[in-house]
Structure 1
Amino acid sequence: MSEETAAPKAADQNEAFLERAKASGLARLAEAQSDTAAVRWAERTADMLVRRLRDRHAS
C-alpha cells in the first residue's frame, strides 16, 4: 500500500474509532443517568415506606 492510500485509510479508521468512542461514551452517560434516576426512585420509595411504618407504629 502506498503512502498516498495509507494516509486516507488511516484517517478513515481514526474517524471511525472516534465515532465508536463517542457512541460508547453517550451510551455510558445514558446508563449513568438511568442509574441515577433509579437510585433517586429507590430513595424516595424507601423514605415513603419508613414514613408509613412510623405512622403505623404511632397510631
Structure 2
Amino acid sequence: MRTMVRPFGIVLLTALAALTGLAQEAAPIVSSQDLLNGLKDPGRWLMFGGNYSGQRYSPLT
C-alpha cells in the first residue's frame, strides 16, 4: 500500500505546482503615457516615487 501512495503523492504535487503557475494573473500593461501622467489618477501609484519628479507625495492623504 505504501508503494502506491508515494507515486500518487508525487504526481499530485507536480500537478498542483503546474496549476499554480497557470493560475497567476497577467500583469496589466502600463504604457509610457501612463507613466508620464503620473498621479493625475491618485489611485494608480505606478512608480516608486509616485511620478518622475519622485517627491513621494500622495494626494490621497
With structure 1 as the length reference, what TM-score do the two structures score? 0.46
With structure 2 as the length reference, what TM-score do the two structures score? 0.45
Instruction: Decide which structure has greater helix share.
Output: 1
Greater RCO, 1 or 2 (C-alpha within 8 Å, sep 6+): 2
Q: Which of the two has higher C-alpha Rg?
A: 1
